[in-house]
Amino acid sequence: MFFPIKRALLSVSDKEGIVELAQILHNLGCELISTGGTAKALSDAGLPITDISKVTGNPEAFGGRMKTISFQIESALLFDRDRDAAEAAALNIQPIDLVVCNLYPFAKVLQQGADFDTLVENIDIGGPTMIRAAAKNFKYVAVVTQPTDYAALIQQLSENQGSLSIAFRQQLMAKAFNHTADYDALIATTMSQSVGQNALRLSFEQGETLRYGENSHQKATFYRQTGAKVSLFDLEILHGKQLSFNNILDINGAIQSVRQQNLPTCAIIKHNNPCGLASGINQAAALEWAWAGDPISAFGSIIAFNTTLELSTVEFFALDNADRSKRKFIEVVVAPHITPQALAYLQHHKDLRVVLFNPNSLPATLPDYRFLNGSLLAQDADTVLFDKLDLVTTTPFEVTAHTDLIAFGIHAICQIKSNSIVIVRRHNGYLQLLGMGAGQPNRLVSTRLAIDKCRENLQNEYHGTDFEAYFMEQMQQCILISDAFFPFADNVELAAASGIRCIVQPGGSIRDKSVIECCNTLGVAMVFSGTRHFKH
């Protein structure tokens, strides 16, 4: 069902594109009703307008607080064109067929740090009333709240001789109600904060149905947060199958693992934990050292890079090898940019997802939300690697010479489920996650797992006849990092027996003194970072 647009009410704070839209409406024979600054902008452009006061019969009043709210305007928007036509005529109500309205810039002045009185003056009342009235009566009235929708509106009008379809009006209706809901939510939370109350309202849109959730019997949807300047939702898939629920979770973990790193960095993610992580001057070598951190777990992994992905790097996957057993199976590759040659090579695997997303485009301070059965936990992002790096043992250690390796290891542990232990090393000029233990309820088990993984990886790279000597020599060059304090000396004893000579932990246990004494007895240096990094 199409309805012609004969009368339009234009009242906007953001005047981008409004003159051009009004000109097209005028050329279609549409009467233009307008208010305040919008009316002036249209008049200055030479367009004839009907001032809002001629429709309402009342002047603008109270510093502009009263302009559109009236029986005449709301009736012109709300009356049912079929059922109420006779009553509207008797009341001398002429229909308004289109509302173009965006609201006072409350969000903008809030971001600018406006004082409370300025915020209050930027709470729109008449605008939401008009928008909601027009949206409710979408069967007969169209409402546009965003300049980005002007092009679609113009196209519809051009294709339908100045009329709009009910399907298009219904789409605009849904956008309008979401627009006013988001607007009111921001005002509500701001006003709550002004009286010392915590309130949070989040909205999401553009829901995209996924193939399934974590498991095939679960339904899943991927949403974009309304108003987010940067969103993981905006990732671009260049090749491969649709992303799954688990893929998206792991992609998030992967980009968190490589973001804010100064050197080319590669992260290999499995079940939302980095099983491989390396950083150095050459991207291809960083991938090889990350892969060497756990070649078995790298099967079916998600791999992220923080620099432009090159052909020389992706050739490591051997996707075109005639011997299929030599090809490395991975699920997703993510990078901020990908060369055409690298993309063409990755396309040898028809299902491999190739994704563009810049890890460093995400703000460092995004809050962390956890939805839990009708409740919400909110916290600041974990952005502080360490408060200090204090050597607390008599066993010597050159902290300043290894600050970059310590920072690399702590960054890694921030991405790993607690209780977590990482063992990192500097090897051939690269920083490498050599072994990690994740998600264990007992820290001693995490330490043992990390050491076992180091042993396995070092066996893979060693080709001599005295592996134990090589193992101890390499472990002595490593740093073991714990996400939280050691409550007992058992972790130190296990680490020392495996050759570890430096441990970094937050400190803060009532048994710190006994742990430090154990380190001194065993010749292990211990550094307190002052910052815990639990990740549940």
Tokens of 192: 């709550």
Helices 490-497 and 512-522 meet at what angle, rounded to 10? 20
Q: Cα angle at 406 between 408 and 535, to 5 degrees?
A: 65
Consecutive H or E run containing 245:
helix 245-258
Q: Please say whether the beta carbons of 278 and 382 come within 8 A.
A: no
Q: Output b/e per residue, 135-161; b: 16+ Cβ within 10 A.
A: bebbebbbbbbebebbeebbebbeeee
End-to-end CA distance of the chain: 54
Dist. CA 377–CA 398, nearest whole Å:
40
Single-letter residue type at 318: A
Helices 126-136 and 71-78 meet at what angle, rounded to 10? 30
Burial status of residue 461 (CB atoms within 10 A of its CB: 0-12, 13-18, 19 or more): exposed
Dist. CA 464–CA 346, nearest whole Å:
35
Helices 490-497 and 443-461 meet at what angle, rounded to 10? 10
Consecutive H or E run containing 346:
helix 340-346
How many CB atoms within 10 Å of residue 86? 8
Q: Which residues contact 6 (CB under 8 A, 6 or more apart)?
A: 29, 30, 31, 95, 97
Single-letter residue type at 309: L
CA distances from 60 to 54, 78, 283 (A): 11, 22, 64
Q: Pairing state of beta strands 2-4 and 525-528? A: unpaired
Dist. CA 134–CA 14, nearest whole Å:
19
Instruction: List residues with catalytic annotation.
Output: 136, 271
